[in-house]
Chain A
Amino acid sequence: MSAKPDDRGSWMGTRLPRKEDLRLITGQGKYVADIVLPGMLHAVFVRSDYAHARLVNVDVSAALEAPGVVAVITGEEMKSHCRSLRQPVLLPNLPAKYPTYYGLAVDKVKFHGDPVAMVIARDKYQAVDAAELVVVDYEELPVVLDPEAALDADAPRVHDEEADNLMFEMTFTGGGTDEERAKNEAEVEKIFQSADVVVKGRFRVHRTGTTPMETRGVLAEWSASDGLTVYNTTQRPHIDRLAFADILDIPAEKARVIAPRDMGGGFGLKAPFYRESVVVAYACRKLGRPVRWIESRYESLMNIGQERGQINTLEVAASKDGKLLALRNRGIADVGTGQIGVYWGFVMPFLGAVEMPNAYTWEAGDTNLKVIFTNKACLTPSRAFGHFPTRFAMERAVDMVARKIGMEPSDLRRRNLVPRLPYTSVTGEYYDSGDFLKVWDNLMVQVDLPAFRKEQAEARAQGRYLGIGFGCGVELSGVASELMVPMENQPGYGAATVRIDPRGKVFIMGGDAPGGQGHETTISQIVAATFGISPEDTIITTGDTGTTPFGSGTIGARMGSYFASAVRKACDELREKITHVLAHDLGIRATMEEFAFTEGEVVYQRDPSKRKGFREIAERIVMFPINLPEGEVGGLETTAFFEAAKPMICFNADACVVEVELATGQFKVLRWQTSEDVGNVINPMIVDGQMQGAIIQGLSNAIFEEFIYNDQGQQMTADFEHYKLATAADVPDVKVTYASTPCPHTPLGTRGIGEGRPSAVPGALCNALVDALAPFDIDITELPIRPSVLWQKLKAAGAV
Chain B
Amino acid sequence: MELKDQIRINAPRERVFAALNDPAILKQAIPGCESLEATSPTDFTAVVAARIGPLAARFTGSVSLADIEAPVRYTLSGEGKGGPAGFAKVKASVELEEDGAATLLGYSVKADIGGKLGQLGGSIVDRTAQKLAGEFFQQFDALIAAPAEATDDAGDSKPVVMAQPPARGVGPVWWGVAAMIALLLAWMALK
Contacts and interface: CB of A to CB of B under 8 A. Distances in A.
B119 A719 contact: yes
Nearest to B119: A718
Nearest to A716: B119
B97 interface: no
A718 B117 CA distance: 11
Q: How large is the interface on A (under 10, 10 to 19, 20 to 34, 35 or more residues)?
A: 10 to 19
A135 B82 CA distance: 11
Nearest to A301: B119
B179 to A, nearest CB: 22
A135 B87 CA distance: 13
B86 A715 contact: no
B114 interface: yes
A716 B122 CA distance: 11
B119 A714 contact: yes
A718 B116 CA distance: 9
Interface in A383-440: none
B114 A50 contact: yes
Contacts of A719: 119
Contact of B121 (A132, A712, A716): A716
A722 interface: yes
Contacts of B114: 49-50, 112, 712, 714
A177 interface: no
Interface in A114-137: 131-132, 135
A462 interface: no
Nearest to B79: A140
B119 to A, nearest CB: 5
Contacts of B121: 716, 722
A710 interface: yes
B135 interface: no
Interface string B65-83: 0000000000000000001
Nearest to A713: B114
B84 interface: yes
A695 to B, nearest CB: 30
A49 B119 contact: no
A91 B191 CA distance: 40
Interface in B100-117: 112-116
Contacts of B112: 712
B118 interface: yes
B84 A132 contact: yes
Interface in B111-151: 112-116, 118-119, 121-122
A710 B118 contact: yes
A131 B84 CA distance: 8
A131 to B, nearest CB: 7
Contacts of A717: 119
Contacts of A722: 119, 121
B150 to A, nearest CB: 45
A135 B191 CA distance: 24
Interface string A125-153: 00000011001000000000000000000
Contacts of A135: 83
Contacts of B122: 721
A132 B118 contact: no
Nearest to B84: A132
A52 to B, nearest CB: 11
A49 to B, nearest CB: 4
A371 B114 CA distance: 27
A49 B191 CA distance: 15
Contacts of B116: 49
A132 B119 contact: no
Contacts of B115: 49, 714
Most buried by B among A714, A715, A716, A719: A714
Contacts of A721: 122
Nearest to B57: A132
A710 B112 CA distance: 10
Nearest to B86: A49
Most buried by B among A132, A710, A717, A722: A710
B118 A716 contact: yes
Nearest to A128: B84
A49 B188 CA distance: 14
Contacts of A132: 83-84
A712 B88 CA distance: 11
A716 B117 CA distance: 10
A118 to B, nearest CB: 15
Contacts of A716: 118-119, 121, 191
Contacts of A50: 114
A132 B85 CA distance: 9
B47 to A, nearest CB: 14
Contacts of A131: 84
A12 B191 CA distance: 57
Q: Which of B113, B115, B118, B119 has the most CB of A within 10 A?
A: B119
**B83, B114, B122, B191: most-surrounded residue (chain A CB, <10 A):** B114
A135 B83 CA distance: 7
A50 B88 CA distance: 11
Interface in A683-717: 710, 712, 714-717
Interface string B150-191: 000000000000000000000000000000000000000001
Contacts of A710: 118
Nearest to A719: B119
Nearest to B1: A710
Contacts of B84: 131-132
A370 to B, nearest CB: 29
Contacts of A112: 114
A592 B42 CA distance: 92
A711 B57 CA distance: 25
A718 B118 CA distance: 11
A131 B85 CA distance: 12
A716 B116 CA distance: 9
A337 to B, nearest CB: 17
A722 B121 CA distance: 9
A375 to B, nearest CB: 12
Contacts of B86: 49
A715 B83 contact: no
B92 to A, nearest CB: 18
22 contacts: A49-B87, A49-B114, A49-B115, A50-B114, A132-B83, A132-B84, A135-B83, A710-B118, A712-B112, A714-B115, A714-B118, A714-B119, A715-B119, A716-B118, A716-B119, A716-B121, A717-B119, A718-B119, A719-B119, A721-B122, A722-B119, A722-B121
Interface of B: 83-84, 86-87, 112-116, 118-119, 121-122, 191
Interface of A: 49-50, 112, 131-132, 135, 710, 712, 714-719, 721-722
Given A49-B86, A112-B114, A131-B84, 4 more contacts: A712-B112, A714-B115, A716-B118, A716-B119
Closest 8 CB pairs of A and B: A49-B115, A132-B84, A714-B118, A714-B114, A49-B114, A718-B119, A712-B112, A716-B119
